[in-house]
Amino acid sequence: MLGRARTIRATQALVDAVAILHQVADRDRQALEQRRADDLKQLRAGFAEEAGDLYEDHAAETSRRRTALNDAVTTFSTPQHDGGPFDVAEYVRLGQATLDTDLPDRAASPTIPVWAPLLDHGNLVLTGSWSDTVAGLIRSMVHQTLTDSGPGQVRIRSVDPSVRSALAAFSPLADVRDDLLTPPATSEHEVEEMLQGLLADVRATVDMFQGRRSTLGQLRRETGQPIGTYQLLVVTDFPAGFSRRATEGLLNVMRAGPAVGVSTIVHVDPAFRSTPGTPAVDTLASQAETIAVTDQGVRTGWLPGWTMTPDPEPDLTTTADLAEKARGAQAPQIDFLDCQPNVDLLSDVSTHRLTATIGRAGQRPVTLTLGDEIDQRHNILVSGAVGQGKSNLLMVLIHSLAMRYPPSELEMHLLDFKEGVTLEPLGARSSPPSWLPHAVSIGLNSDRTYGASVLSHLVAEFERRATLMRGHGDNITKYRLADPSHRMPRILVVIDEFQVLFDADDDTSERALADLERLARKGRAYGIHLVLASQTLSGITSMLTKQDGIFAQFPIRLALKNSAAESRAVLDQNNTAAARLRYRGELLVNLDFGDVESNRRATVCWAQDRQLAQLRQRLCDHSGADHSRRPTTFDGAHAPSLAEAHQKLSGIRRSPDSTAARSALLGTTVDVRSEPVGFALTADNGRHLAVVGAGAPRSGSGISEADNQAVGALQAAALSLAAQHGGDGAQIVIVDLLPETTSTACNMNEFTNILGTSGVTVTRYDNKNVDDYLISLNDMIESRQPDDAPVYVVAFGLDRVRKFRHLDMARGATVTPADGVHALLRDGPPVGAHLLAWWSSLRVMNEHLGLEASGTVDGILALRVTSNDAQDLFGPFTVWKPDGPRGLLHDRVESSEPSVIVPFRPLMTAQIDTVRQMVEQL
């Protein structure tokens, strides 16, 4: 029992010891666990702190990089354009792209602008169902292409089988030029036709590259000229409307087009199925950059991982501004002298031909050759709308020829039926000489009578040459080669706005047309070449019967920008290329009668007025130009002044003892020579002159009394008579019955004083004493002898005598003023007394002359008279409609028909001292 108890006690003690050990182990375990928990908590706290620091550092770095990227985007340099013809939309902006990222803050993702390469670089394929987004992208790209390219430099073509009308907002461009925005192709046939036309344009531009690997933009920059044409083709809803042939054509355009200025934007709509056998859409995409429009957004093929937000559509109302800029576009200027060949001044000969350089086509000069026996091109036809550079082209042509050929090799007749501003500087100038020494005649504001006279003169000249050439060949080249001593310069005839010659259906038009046709057909053999220029050739009614016959002699056609109708008129019925020229100064050169296959584009060089004036001065110096070589200048809108009559007055100056008849100078002829014309005052009965009609038009015409033709003609007559007499005792009696305003405007006081310095005796009467003087004429005529010094009664406004037939009984008068005038008219010439008088009214003149002096006046100068009055004076077939300073002069003894003259202007205030010095020198 004891042993069992001990065993129990020992066991209990062991149990207790084990329990104590468990308690200790539990306490230690708990302590360890608490310690582990505390350590883990501390570790976790430290890790969280470090992780927070790391996250904050990462966020800060991300923010810094995003800020830097956005700053870079903000300062991104977009293409700069100055609005010139060399601008081209190489890239167009589509919108902004945001980087796809899993970051919690999506707004913090970086954004960049999206630019798509286009002109000179490539094409774009836009995929997706038609939507506002697709339409907006297309319009935005087209708008940028137009705004970022030179005005009028890009043509827009479109294929729109579903009639989306996405480009309707750009329609104002078609109003400027129909090729800037052509009607969309909608059928398969139209699509095929459009693509074939584009391929033809591509081939033509490739030929222009002459084998060089380049782009159109590079070629333009190298040549300094906007050669070629940029075109943008916009296709919607592909493959709708596309046959297999059309799709292949589209691929060819996309492959070859961008380098030569033809880029394409193709919208591919998956809703449309392609025609079996046509190339897959992927094939199109291989020739372009791609843009995909889906429900998830817009993505581009060249920015994977970025989603694009398109920019807002531009303000399409500005399209009208684009159209106006295209309308006023100008070519870059090519300096005239830089364009000319490096040859010595006035060193060439015209035996075989004439050659002029007028511009450049790319880097190649554009030259025109006239008269060559091989090419057989002798005449030039020029056309261009208002403001497109026609005047500059003519000046370039004229001066290019003038630089190469001396006046002994080339003469010119230049006519301008417009304002005459262009040719005016080419006329005679004083010092230093700067006129055109080659010019024989220059017509400014030419009227039809003068133009017809020039053509008549030229016909007479080629008939003279034909006589000279007999036995020496049948053309000018053979004639000059047969004997190098033969002097026969070629003749260039330039007529600007030549259609004015044929405005009316009358004798002048008929005569001019016959002469023009004769010169065009036969003048070339005798070295006469025509340059006819006009803003409009269509609708010249009087030329309809002969137009083709005349123009068939003009193989060289130069067309500046114009309408389609005028393009057909100047070129060919199938050639409207002039309507598609883009800017002022761009020229279509055609050397084959306007055939469309012979079109060649060029840019006319720019001739500055000051530069040309300096050139003409050099030409005058080299050619020894002096007063004897001055061109005759006819200004149809202005009468010659008395100061301009110096040479003419000097020509009639003679010794006082000469017995030749004196001539009263009245004006100049309306012809090439513009020679002085007058009325001879011989001792034969009837040698008096009557000036009839209004000297100036009614108020409101813009012509003042200072331009009174009647006063000017009689002042010139008096000066010329004084010049022919000098100190031989001749007397000039001035009867001034003019209204005070007219007398003052025409400087009658100064004129009378100047006349008194010429050596003749001058007496002046006015309204206060004119009656007594006229009455005294009766006794004066009775007392004169044939060898007495001449007396010239020059009466201004004789119809203002109030008592012409009044017998003043109160003063014991036995004769009237009429009696004195009649005595002078009947019996004056044999005793050296002559009357030169102005009546503003034909009725009053007839009343003054009456039966007593009927038939005693041989000379009539009609001014502004009615058609009926003109027929009463000159016969029932007389047609007289004066336009400008013109008079109808008839000497009944010398000719059966009256002739048109330009009466001199009255003495101008600004020229009083000049005329006084001129008279003193005579």
- By the 8 A CB rule, do 428 and 626 touch? no
Rounded to the nearest 10°, the torsion over CA 808, 809, 811, 813 is 70
Task: For residue 835, give the H/E element and its range.
Answer: strand 833-839
Q: Is 385 annotated as a binding residue?
A: yes
H-state helical runs in 263-382:
281-285, 319-327, 336-339
- By the 8 A CB rule, do 246 and 195 touch? yes
Q: CA gyration radius for the chain?
A: 46
Q: Is 384 annotated as a binding residue?
A: yes
Peptide bond into 432 cis (omega under 30): yes
Query: Counting beta carbons within 10 angstroms of the beta carbon of residue 86, is it exposed (0 to 12), middle (13 to 18) or buried (19 or more)?
Result: middle
Report the C-alpha gap between 877 and 892 in whole angstroms.
16
State the angle between helix axes of 216-223 and 188-209 in degrees (0 to 180), rounded to the nearest 10: 40
- Enter the tokens of residue 755: 């006349």
Q: Per DSSP, which regions of 538-648 are E strands?
A: 556-560, 586-590, 600-604, 632-635
Instruction: Report the side by side order of strands in the sheet with 600-604.
Output: 364-370, 354-361, 600-604, 586-590, 556-560, 380-383, 528-534, 490-496, 410-416, 439-444, 632-635
Q: Is 390 annotated as a binding residue?
A: yes
Q: Is 124 helix (H, G, I), strand (E, B) or coil?
A: strand
- By the 8 A CB rule, do 785 and 816 touch? no
The single-letter code of the amino acid at 247 is: T
- By the 8 A CB rule, do 874 and 844 touch? no
Q: What is the DSSP letter of 698?
A: P
- By the 8 A CB rule, do 497 and 420 touch? no
Q: Is 273 helix (H, G, I), strand (E, B) or coil?
A: coil
Report the C-alpha gap between 87 and 117 in whole angstroms.
15
| 568 φ, ψ (degrees, to nearest 5) | -65, -35
DSSP 779-808: HHHHH--TTSPPEEEEEESGGG-TTTT---
Q: How many CB atoms lie within 10 A of CB 660?
A: 10
Nearest to 906 by CA among 751, 734, 702, 741: 751
Report the C-alpha gap between 820 and 831 in whole angstroms.
15
How close are the terminal C-alpha atoms of the chain, in Å? 188
Q: Is 165 annotated as a binding residue?
A: no
Task: For residue 197, give the H/E element and its range.
Answer: helix 188-209
Instruction: Report the side by side order of strands in the sheet with 899-903.
Output: 676-681, 662-669, 899-903, 887-891, 859-862, 689-692, 833-839, 791-796, 731-736, 761-765
- Enter the tokens of residue 754: 């100047």
Task: For residue 393, give the H/E element and its range.
Answer: helix 390-404
DSSP 629-679: GPPEEEETTSPPPSGGGHHHHHHH---TT--SPEEEEEEEESSSS--EEEE
Tell me the binding residues for ATP.
384-391
Known binding residues: 384-391
